[in-house]
Structure 1
Amino acid sequence: MSKNWNTFFNILQKEERVIIGLMSGTSLDGLDIALCRIKGHGLNTELKLMKFHTVPYDDELKTEIQAIFSKTMVDLQMIALMNERIALLHAEMVLGSLQEWGIKPSEIDVIASHGQTIYHAPKSLHGLQGYPNATLQIGDGDHIAFKTGIITIADFRQKHIAAGGEGAPLAVYGDYLYFSKPGETRIMLNIGGIANITYLPGDSSVEGIFSTDVGPGNTIMDHFVQANFEGMTYDVDGLIAASGHVNSDLLTSLLKHKFIDLPFPKTTGPELFNLNFLASAQLNSNTQYITREDVLATLNKFTATVIVNSIKRCITNDEAVTVYFSGGGIHNKLLVSCLKADLPELRFATTDELGILPDAKEAVLFAILANETLAGDSLDFGQRSGLPSICMGKVCLPF
């Protein structure tokens, strides 16, 4: 047996695996690195988050990614080059983190790499007859495996699409395995660039579980701040938005987009929710000349309204529900306060309460998906649209 496969076979036989989950989202903040110890698989998964931090992207890298990000016309050479560049950079970030933590690469069983999304194209968005759902993440897994010397599982979203899904959101798989609890109905709300929810019914029935994108999280707000407030990348604590006033005409225009009322599950990205989307809504509502602060206040309320309405679609009036926050949006105090005020009957908490740092959750979920690739079986969600019963990820060997 070759060295690669001998190592792989030994990992499969382990009772406990050490897996690094990597996640870089559409906000382009940096690379989330979560070091996890995982026992078992499926509903018997036990996980401990050992270490976590985010290695930020510098401004030059952000500019390079933005040049090929969420655009229909891009430089094909740069896509090819950035595929390798991102992978090598992520590998260096992993090695640097391990050195900082005093851990040898040989102590890590597997890296689970999501990659950097540069384009998301479900049929509901591209609308082209004869073409399937599609998505593209760069950051080649073979480069990460070779540079780190660690087996890498990558490219998770392609199997989801191949099996009939839209490539997102994938949170439902890890949320179901790790966060579902008999007797408690939970909604896992992740507010990243895009906001998504996973509904976990208290009866633990897979028939009732689903995950869906609901609309923008931070993406339009962040892009608006970057374009209109020099030296700022996001609205810290929602303070700028809090200084403005919600414009009802603009809010109504934003809420008219057909995506908002599409049935669940659905998926979207910055390809739709961007500054062009905002400009169109302002033109249609004749609100091009309202203040920057009022625009941001309205965008904040738009995000909150979409999330609130989506949660209301999930639950019955007599259902006791806890909403668990994660993602960068939890740091926007105005957004969080709006959600709580508009859903007073629900209990809110962060995933800290469940043992996972809110900022680490997505990286942890990909570590769980990698563990399922190694040790699990296809999760049986039945014949449900958008939720194929599969394991995901391609195995990239280091040698």
Structure 2
Amino acid sequence: MNTQLARLSAIAASSSRMIIGLMSGTSLDGLDIALCEFSGSGTDTQVKVLHFTTVPYDQSFKEELKSISFKSQVSLQRLTLLHAVIGRRSAEMVLTTLKAWNFPLENVDLIASHGQTIFHAPSSLHQLADYPNATLQIGDGDHIAVRTGIITLSDFRQKHIAAGGEGAPLAVYGDYLLFADATENRILLNIGGIANFTYLPGGMKPDAIFSTDIGPGNTLMDQYVQLNYPGQYYDNNGAIAVQGTISKTLLEALKENEFFGYPFPRTTGPELFDMQYLREAQQRSETEFLPAPDVLATLCEFTAWAIISAIRKTVPDQTFEIYLSGGGMHNPLLADKISKGLALTLKTTADLGIHPDAKEAVLFALLANECMAGGNSNFGDKNSIPNITMGKISLPH
């Protein structure tokens, strides 16, 4: 047997696995790195997050990523080159971070890399009858494996699409395996660039799970800040928006999109919710000359409305708790709007034992653990939650 395949077999058969999860979201701000120790699989999964950090991207690299992200036309040469560059950079960040943690490289069994989403194209968005759902993440796993010497799993979303899903959200797998409870009804609300949530009714019944993208999370607010406040990438603590006044006419125009009439579950991305989306809403509502704080206040209200209305439409009328993760949880203005709109106090996944900033990186480490040692979880016959093993395997040599 090939020695690398023997190594894979030994990892799968081991009582525990040391896995690094890597996540870089649509905000393009940096690479989340979580070092996790797993034992078991499926609903018996146990995880300890030993270390977590976010390695920020420098401004020039952010601009390179922005130049090819969420656009229908980009430089094919730059896209091809960045596929390799992101893989190499991710590897170097892992090596540097392990050294800073004083954690031996040889003790890591696997790396699970989400990659950088460049374009997300569900059929509901591209509306081309002869084409399927599609998505693209770059950051080649072979580069990570070869440069670190660690077996790497990557490109998780393709299997989800191949099995009939839309490639997102994938959080439902980790949410169920790590956070489902025998008695408490839980909503795991992630507010990244795009907001999504998983509803986990008490009782650990996988066929009762519901998971969907909602619509804009931070993406419109972040893009607007980057366009109008040079050197800033987001509205820190909602400090700009809190100075503004909500424009009801702009708010209503922002709501006027067929996406919000699509049935749940659904998926979307910054390809829809971008500055063109905002400009068109401002033109329709004749609000092109609103002061920037007023626009941000309205975008924050729009995001809160999308989240609140999605939960109200899809979650049965019963008691539940909401556990937040994602960058939007750090915006107190947004969090307060959601809390008041749903009339409950928001918690975070820290209350369930996982740091909310680390949650998505931990999720992909969990998917790698399932690929190696699990694969037996059954979510019923739902197209939106296919029963699959995800991740392409890259061997170091």
TM-score class, shorter-chain normalisation, is over 0.9
Deviation at 1:285, TM superposition (A): 0.8
Paired position in structure 2 for 1:392: 390
1:291-336 superposed Cα distances (whole Å, 9 cap, x missing partner): 111000000000001001111123333x110000000101101000
The unaligned stretches of length 5 or more in structure 1 are none
1:11-39 superposed Cα distances (whole Å, 9 cap, x missing partner): 11210110000000000010000000011
Paired position in structure 2 for 1:307: 307
**How many angstroms apart in 2 are the aligned matches of 1:195 and 1:163?**
23
Moved more, 132-141 or 370-379: 370-379
Q: Secondary structure of the equivalent of 2:363?
A: helix
**How many angstroms apart in 1 are the aligned matches of 2:8 and 2:203?**
37
Is the 8 Å Cα contact of residues 116 and 137 (structure 2) preserved in structure 1? Answer: yes
**How many angstroms apart in 2 are the aligned matches of 1:313 and 1:205?**
21
Is the 8 Å Cα contact of residues 42 and 376 (structure 2) preserved in structure 1? Answer: no
Deviation at 1:260, TM superposition (A): 1.6
**How many angstroms apart in 1 are the aligned matches of 2:3 and 2:274?**
47
Q: Secondary structure of the equivalent of 2:383?
A: coil
What does 1:1-399 align with in structure 2 at a 5 Å threshold? 1-317=1-317, 319-344=318-343, 346-399=344-397
1:164-203 superposed Cα distances (whole Å, 9 cap, x missing partner): 0000110001111001001111000000000000010112
**How many angstroms apart in 2 are the aligned matches of 1:99 and 1:298?**
44
Q: Secondary structure of the equivalent of 1:359?
A: coil
Is the 8 Å Cα contact of residues 321 and 347 (structure 1) preserved in structure 2? Answer: no
Is the 8 Å Cα contact of residues 322 and 347 (structure 2) preserved in structure 1? Answer: yes
> Amino acid of the residue matched to residue 258 of structure 1?
E
Structure 2 length-normalised TM: 0.99
**How many angstroms apart in 1 are the aligned matches of 2:44 and 2:288?**
54
What is the RMSD computed on CA atoms of the aligned residues? 0.9
> Amino acid of the residue matched to residue 387 of structure 2?
S
Is the 8 Å Cα contact of residues 193 and 217 (structure 2) preserved in structure 1? Answer: yes
**How many angstroms apart in 1 are the aligned matches of 2:235 and 2:118?**
23
Is the 8 Å Cα contact of residues 379 and 391 (structure 1) preserved in structure 2? Answer: no
Q: Secondary structure of the equivalent of 2:221?
A: helix
Deviation at 1:6, TM superposition (A): 2.0
**How many angstroms apart in 2 are the aligned matches of 1:65 and 1:315?**
36
**How many angstroms apart in 2 are the aligned matches of 1:390 and 1:379?**
9
Moved more, 50-59 or 253-262: 253-262
**How many angstroms apart in 1 are the aligned matches of 2:188 and 2:345?**
12
Deviation at 1:385, TM superposition (A): 2.6
Deviation at 1:382, TM superposition (A): 1.9
- How many pairs were matched up? 397
> Amino acid of the residue matched to residue 83 of structure 1?
H
Q: Secondary structure of the equivalent of 2:61?
A: helix
Q: Secondary structure of the equivalent of 1:207?
A: helix
> Amino acid of the residue matched to residue 384 of structure 1?
K
Deviation at 1:347, TM superposition (A): 4.0
> Amino acid of the residue matched to residue 147 of structure 2?
K
**How many angstroms apart in 2 are the aligned matches of 1:252 and 1:305?**
11
> Amino acid of the residue matched to residue 63 of structure 2?
T
**How many angstroms apart in 2 are the aligned matches of 1:231 and 1:167?**
33
> Amino acid of the residue matched to residue 298 of structure 2?
T
> Amino acid of the residue matched to residue 341 of structure 2?
D
Is the 8 Å Cα contact of residues 122 and 134 (structure 2) preserved in structure 1? Answer: yes
Deviation at 1:99, TM superposition (A): 0.3
**How many angstroms apart in 2 are the aligned matches of 1:95 and 1:366?**
19
> Amino acid of the residue matched to residue 351 of structure 1?
T
**How many angstroms apart in 2 are the aligned matches of 1:203 and 1:335?**
31
1:270-306 superposed Cα distances (whole Å, 9 cap, x missing partner): 0000100000111111111111110000000000010
> Amino acid of the residue matched to residue 269 of structure 1?
G
Deviation at 1:378, TM superposition (A): 4.2
Is the 8 Å Cα contact of residues 20 and 110 (structure 1) preserved in structure 2? Answer: yes
**How many angstroms apart in 2 are the aligned matches of 1:221 and 1:43?**
37
Q: Describe the shift of the 1:103–1:31 C-alpha distance in structure 2 as closer, same or farther (beyond 3 A).
A: same
Structure 1 length-normalised TM: 0.98
**How many angstroms apart in 1 are the aligned matches of 2:137 and 2:279?**
27
Deviation at 1:389, TM superposition (A): 1.1
Give 4+ residue runs of structure 1 displaced > 3 Å after superposition: none
1:213-272 superposed Cα distances (whole Å, 9 cap, x missing partner): 000000110010010012211100001000001000000111111112321111110000
The unaligned stretches of length 5 or more in structure 2 are none
**How many angstroms apart in 2 are the aligned matches of 1:110 and 1:366?**
11
